[in-house]
């Protein structure tokens, strides 16, 4: 069975749309066997897909092929997650930092500003 990489990424729910999958591949956010490729590259069983998301790299081995978008339960049977634990920790750290940042309006308060200035003045001396 011949299957394009962008279609496979969409079928196993690594991307919301096929267009988004093609854009991720074109921007080198998704690589096949550690190589930069085009969206029309054909995939085969045993190939490794690397998905670069924020500061982490998620890796998957292709165990089966399908040309139709499948449910998440079936998608787990088609790919095997081989992401190293340290990459998962990097992603969790990024998500928690974003969550913390979004709880504020992003602008320091007057007290925060004074503490930042005091800290910078201390290090400037």
What are the pLDDT digits (tens) for 17-31?
Answer: 999 999 999 999 999
**Strand boundaries in 10-115, DSSP class E:** 30-32, 48-53, 56-62, 79-81
What are the pLDDT digits (tens) for 28-63?
Answer: 999 999 999 999 999 999 999 999 999 999 999 999
What are the pLDDT digits (tens) for 73-122?
Answer: 999 999 999 999 999 999 999 999 888 776 767 788 899 899 999 999 98
Q: Is the pLDDT of residue 124 over 80?
A: no
Cα-based distances in Å from 4 to 76, 84, 94:
19, 26, 31
The pLDDT, as a whole number, for residue 35 is 95
Domains of the chain (ranges, CATH numbers): 1-83 (3.10.290.10), 85-125 (no CATH)
Contact 21, 9 (CB under 8 A): yes
């Amino acid at each position: 069975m011949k299957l394009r990489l962008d279609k496979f990424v969409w079928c196993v729910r690594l991307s919301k749309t096929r267009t988004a999958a093609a854009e991720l591949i074109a921007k080198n956010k998704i690589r096949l066997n550690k190589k930069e490729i085009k969206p029309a590259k054909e995939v085969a069983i045993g190939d490794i897909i690397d998905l670069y998301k924020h500061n982490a790299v998620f890796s998957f081995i292709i165990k089966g092929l399908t040309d139709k978008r499948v449910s998440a339960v079936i998608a787990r049977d088609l790919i095997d997650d081989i992401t190293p634990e340290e990459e998962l920790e990097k992603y969790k750290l990024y998500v928690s930092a974003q969550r913390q940042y979004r709880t504020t309006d992003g602008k320091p308060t007057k007290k925060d500003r004074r503490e930042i200035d005091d800290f910078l003045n201390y290090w400037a001396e």
